[in-house]
């Protein structure tokens, strides 16, 4: 049988066709626009997601026996607010995960409601990217739109609704809304009251590997599929990527260098970081995970290359970097504000330490190092919780760079395992669809049988020592600039 994994990303939807042995038959990617109507805002049109997904599935299956397709599932950009009216029409453009407009609402939630209460209700505090602050923003700034809300969705769940007619979500994606009681895997009554919404406006919650239903007759006819094709609930992109890299079960780690960057630690037990620097979410394997998320990771390098250097030669620029651990330039990678661990929408990208002998290569190196240093900030919080991680898997577009992978190994002092299939959320989505179709006993069973490590990057002890000294300097830069960022932005 064949399984389709759909990765609904920020810039494009990636569709992957996988067979029951885990082999990838074909991959298709289709782009759609991203809108920035005001500074710090980020929006998309959900209809664009749907149209490009349908066209992408057609392309994906063009030369395939469609009767062999048994399941579909998702990995999707998290936290986005999609609201539908009573006629199932999208009320306004989706407000995305990297949108920073809800600063005031976060201050209300964290300051007036209180972080301790929020943590008790949801296991997390308010971040500008989360869904609940966005709802409060719509309530305050667009009351007419708020009054029309019949269904509140996350991005990938809009696709599931269009494909199946089922109003659903999964535990991992729901965890990032600040509306979900993560420990008990259900909606928080207290957060519903705080946000002025009713539970019937929220989707039914499934485990990521559970079937929510089958494709509608209309979708089956449109795509030439069997009406018995199962659609599994899927997962938020990071949880789906974790499934796709085998980061399931207890004490496993995955680093994602995508548009955003994450460090993801799976656990069979529920746990909360006392300082709320890490997110505590339900995992797609039926258990839990801790996650540190930075808003700009590989996108920092894309910005530097495309907008500043006007170069498409990514590898060529990295080849000019002379040696690791000796750079005198630092870069704060906060181009869209920052989440973990600072929770500061006002934070901004910053170069510091340039001199007359600073080179283009020094600054390119600083951008790559800055992302790795910021990921280490989250790793340090995990260490403070008593979690000991010695190795990690890695995925995302940035992970294709051998130099960046070595930086990750040296700066975080971790062994970095490379895997045979590096397709992240799309591959994880396909695996979840296979589990829903009973191809495997569990997500862990699927990961054990399908995920293969091909190489391991060892940290270099000498470079680790050099980077340890540089990291201790890096971690002091943001606190020194925090108040200045606030003045600059406001």
Query: Which residues are registered as beta bridge partners of 236?
Result: 76
Six token digits for residue 165: 């007619």
N- to C-terminal Cα separation, the chain: 55
- Tens of pLDDT along the chain (490 residues)? 999 999 999 999 999 999 999 999 999 999 999 999 998 899 999 999 999 999 999 999 999 999 999 999 999 999 999 999 999 999 999 999 989 899 999 999 999 999 999 999 999 999 888 999 999 999 999 999 999 999 999 999 999 999 999 999 999 999 999 999 999 999 999 999 999 999 999 999 999 999 999 999 999 999 999 999 999 999 999 899 999 999 999 889 999 998 889 999 998 889 888 778 899 999 999 999 999 989 899 999 999 999 999 999 999 999 999 899 999 999 999 998 998 899 888 999 999 999 999 999 999 999 999 999 999 999 998 888 888 899 999 988 899 999 999 999 999 999 999 999 878 899 999 999 999 999 999 999 999 999 999 999 999 999 999 999 999 999 999 999 999 998 987 6
Residue 490 has what pLDDT?
Answer: 62
* Cβ atoms 137, 144 nearer than 8 A: no
**Given the residues 99, 170, 173, 237, the one annotated as active site:** 237
Q: 326 a known binding residue?
A: no
Taking CA 246 as the corner, what is the angle to CA 442 and CA 67, rounded to the nearest 5 degrees?
A: 60
* Cβ atoms 390, 366 nearer than 8 A: no
| 172 secondary structure, DSSP code | H
SS3 at position 251: coil
Q: 305 a known binding residue?
A: no
Closest CA to 173 of 148, 160, 161, 156: 156
Hunting for tokens 């069997």 — which residue is that?
A: 226
Closest CA to 394 of 429, 423, 426: 423
Closest CA to 57 of 433, 477, 467: 433
Query: Which residues are registered as beta bridge partners of 15?
Result: 6, 28
Residue 386 has what pLDDT?
Answer: 83
d(CA 33, CA 300): 19
Residue 215 has what pLDDT?
Answer: 98
Closest CA to 182 of 130, 139, 232, 137: 130
**For the chain, which domains are there?**
2-238 (3.30.420.40)
Hunting for tokens 């057609």 — which residue is that?
A: 58
In terms of DSSP bridges, do strands 391-395 and 415-419 run parallel, antiparallel, or are they unpaired? parallel
d(CA 323, CA 334): 25
In terms of DSSP bridges, do strands 2-8 and 69-76 run parallel, antiparallel, or are they unpaired? parallel
Q: What is the CA radius of gyration of the chain?
A: 21
Six token digits for residue 465: 């020592």
- Tell me phi and psi for residue 278, to 5 degrees: -110, 150
Other CB atoms within a 10 A radius of the CB of residue 23 amount to 10
Closest CA to 118 of 191, 174, 175: 191
Tell me whether residue 313 is one of the annotated catalytic residues: no
Is the peptide bond preceding residue 341 cis, with omega within 30 degrees of 0?
A: yes
Six token digits for residue 133: 């602050």
Taking CA 123 as the corner, what is the angle to CA 122 and CA 124, rounded to the nearest 5 degrees?
A: 90
């Amino acid at each position: 049988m064949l399984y389709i994994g759909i990765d609904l990303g920020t810039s494009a939807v990636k569709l992957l066709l996988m067979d029951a042995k885990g082999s990838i038959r074909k991959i298709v990617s289709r782009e759609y626009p991203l809108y920035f109507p005001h500074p710090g805002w980020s929006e998309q049109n959900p209809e664009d997601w749907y149209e490009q997904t349908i066209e992408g599935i057609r392309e994906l299956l063009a030369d395939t026996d469609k009767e062999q397709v048994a399941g579909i599932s998702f990995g999707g950009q998290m936290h986005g607010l999609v609201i539908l009216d009573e006629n199932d029409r999208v009320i306004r453009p989706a407000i995305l995960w990297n949108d920073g407009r809800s600063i005031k609402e976060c201050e209300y939630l964290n300051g007036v409601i209180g972080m301790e209460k929020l943590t008790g209700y949801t296991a997390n505090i308010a971040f500008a990217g989360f869904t609940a602050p966005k709802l409060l923003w719509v309530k305050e700034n667009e009351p007419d739109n708020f009054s029309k809300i019949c269904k509140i969705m996350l991005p990938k769940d809009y696709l599931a609704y269009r494909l199946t007619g089922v109003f659903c979500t999964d535990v991992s994606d729901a965890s990032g809304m600040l509306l979900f009681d993560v420990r008990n895997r259900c909606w928080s009554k207290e957060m519903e009251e705080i946000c002025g919404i009713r539970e019937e406006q929220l989707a039914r919650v499934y485990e990521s590997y559970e079937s929510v239903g089958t494709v509608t007759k209309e979708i089956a006819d449109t795509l030439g599929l069997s009406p018995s094709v199962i659609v599994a609930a899927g997962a938020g992109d990071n949880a789906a990527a974790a499934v796709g890299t085998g980061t399931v079960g207890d004490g496993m780690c995955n680093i994602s260098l995508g548009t955003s960057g994450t460090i993801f630690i799976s656990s069979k037990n529920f746990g909360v970081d006392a300082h709320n620097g890490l997110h505590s979410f339900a995992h797609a394997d039926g258990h839990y995970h801790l996650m540190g998320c930075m808003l700009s990771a590989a996108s920092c390098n894309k910005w530097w290359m495309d907008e500043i250097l006007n170069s498409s030669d990514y590898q060529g620029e990295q080849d000019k970097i002379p040696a690791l651990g000796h750079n005198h330039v630092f870069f704060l990678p906060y181009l869209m504000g920052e989440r973990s661990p600072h929770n500061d929408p006002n934070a901004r990208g910053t170069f510091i330490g340039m001199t007359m002998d600073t080179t283009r290569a020094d600054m390119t190196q600083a951008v790559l190092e800055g992302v790795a240093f910021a990921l280490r900030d989250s790793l340090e919080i995990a260490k403070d919780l008593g979690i000991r991680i010695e190795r990690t898997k890695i995925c995302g577009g940035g992970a294709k760079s051998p130099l960046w992978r070595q930086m990750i190994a040296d700066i975080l002092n971790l062994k970095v395992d490379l895997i045979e299939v590096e397709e992240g959320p799309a591959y994880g989505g396909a695996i979840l669809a296979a589990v829903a179709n009973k191809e495997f006993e569990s997500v862990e069973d699927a990961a054990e049988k399908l995920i293969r490590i091909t190489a391991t990057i060892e940290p270099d002890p000498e470079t680790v020592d050099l980077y340890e000294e540089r990291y201790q300097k890096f971690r002091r830069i943001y606190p020194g600039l925090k108040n200045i960022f606030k003045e600059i932005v406001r």
